[in-house]
Structure 1
Amino acid sequence: MLMWSELRRLVMPVPDENAWLRIAEDFQQKTNFPNCLGALDGKHIRVTMPIKSGSKYFNYKKYFSIVLMAVVDANYCFTLIDVGAYGSTGDASAFRNSSFGRRLSEGALQLPPPKPLPGTAGPCMPYVFVGDEAFGLTENIMRPYPGSQRAIQKRVFNYRLSRARRMVECAFGILSNKWRVFHTAIQLEPDFVDNVIKAGCVLHNFVRLRDGYNYQDTLTDDIPDIDWAPVRGPTGGMRVRDQLANYFMSPDGSVPWQLNRM
């Protein structure tokens, strides 16, 4: 589609290492989350039942949908998107099979090398994306500690992560409020729906970069979340999360108001 191919080059170019570093600096300044390259989430885009599709597009919420997977920067702009997974995809395979998930696992995203957290001399910490409990914990994907935590450092970590992750929630809210097509089932064939979603995302970036945003547009989001079964994280991801949690309680990494939000 011409709009997607042309506008994407202007408003959603694939980030290189320098672009990732600029994104990380914005997250540090705006959300106080260091070494963060983006907020990650997936949404169901409602569609009418495609012809001869069986139950492939029928999701757990009992309607037909196509999955939009997105990474958002600290300015509510889409950095990377993946469109087209079946609505019935109800587990982490939707992320693993997305172009972003594959490129991340293959080390093909030109991510910056690990570096010490601000104010510290080490150890070097990897750059990460932040998501909710649906995403598997890895060295490059941080999610909250599960359940109701009593340990104060884990509660602080969850709060700090939620501030960074809110960027993707707000981006979806702006997208939904600006383009009302996402409020009802899109009555097109799946390939055309994919194009509508991609067009909406690049137009979102175009308008966002040109006009900014209305704060009220970030407060509602009519696009349903993906509901995936939690995946237990590997040891490397747990280590990175614990180190970040400790850092957020240290003089170098804490912010004055964090304990007031517990």
Structure 2
Amino acid sequence: MANNTVAGIVHETCRAIWENLGEIHTKFPSNEEAIQITDNFWKRWKFPNCIGCIDGKHIHIKAPANSGNMFYNYKNFFSIVLQGIAGPDYRFIAIEVGACGKESDGGIFSNSHLSKR
């Protein structure tokens, strides 16, 4: 099977999984759930007014065609960024995937769905 055929299958499969299961497994917390998360951060870690811990991970990729240096990161390789927010129990509350590797963590966050909420 050709590489582009496999890439197309992987892309189509990932999109189908996201469209059908994304809302179930990465549902954004309601206001009541957010209050509970904040309370749990205080109870478990004695950290007040916190709803999540945020960090990003560069996922190594081949340089996309005609992308210039948008995906070239400070670690000297091409990447997309997965940025996640975890609650006091180490479970993901929200994720943001697909930002260009060149973007800063702050820039990715400020353009995210989470930031807008």
The bucket for the TM-score relative to the shorter chain is 0.7 to 0.9
The CA RMSD over aligned residues, in Å, is 1.7
Among candidates 35, 57, 69, match of residue 55 of structure 1: 69
Which runs of no fewer than 5 residues in structure 2 stay unpaired?
A: 1-14
Aligned length: 103
Structure 2 residue 75 is the aligned partner of structure 1 residue 69: no
Q: Give the Cα separation in 1 of the matches to 2:100 and 2:23.
A: 27
* Contact map agreement 2:87 2:93 (CA 8 A) in 1: yes
* Contact map agreement 1:39 1:71 (CA 8 A) in 2: yes
Structure 2 residue 22 is the aligned partner of structure 1 residue 8: yes
- Assess, with a 3 A threshold, how the Cα gap between structure 1 residues 91 and 37 changes in structure 2: closer, same or farther: closer
TM-score w.r.t. structure 1 length? 0.37
Using CA pairs under 8 Å that are at least 6 residues apart, name the structure with larger relative contact order, 1 or 2.
Answer: 1
Q: Give the Cα separation in 2 of the matches to 1:42 and 1:12.
A: 17
Q: CA deviation at 1:45?
A: 1.2
Aligned residue number for residue 4 of structure 2: none
TM-score w.r.t. structure 2 length? 0.77
- Within a 5 Å distance, the mapping from 1:87-102 to structure 2 comes to 87-90=101-104, 92-101=106-115
Which of the pair has more CA radius of gyration? 1
Aligned residue number for residue 92 of structure 2: 78
Structure 2 residue 36 is the aligned partner of structure 1 residue 26: no
Q: How far does the alpha carbon of each residue in 1:97-150 deviate from its partner, in whole angstroms, 9 at most, with x for none? A: 22222x1xxxxx3xxxxxxxxxxxxxxxxxxxxxxxxxxxxxxxxxxxxxxxxx
- Within a 5 Å distance, the mapping from 1:166-177 to structure 2 comes to none
Secondary structure (helix, strand or coil) at the match of 2:76 reads coil
Structure 2 residue 43 is the aligned partner of structure 1 residue 43: no
Q: Give the Cα separation in 1 of the matches to 2:40 and 2:84.
A: 18
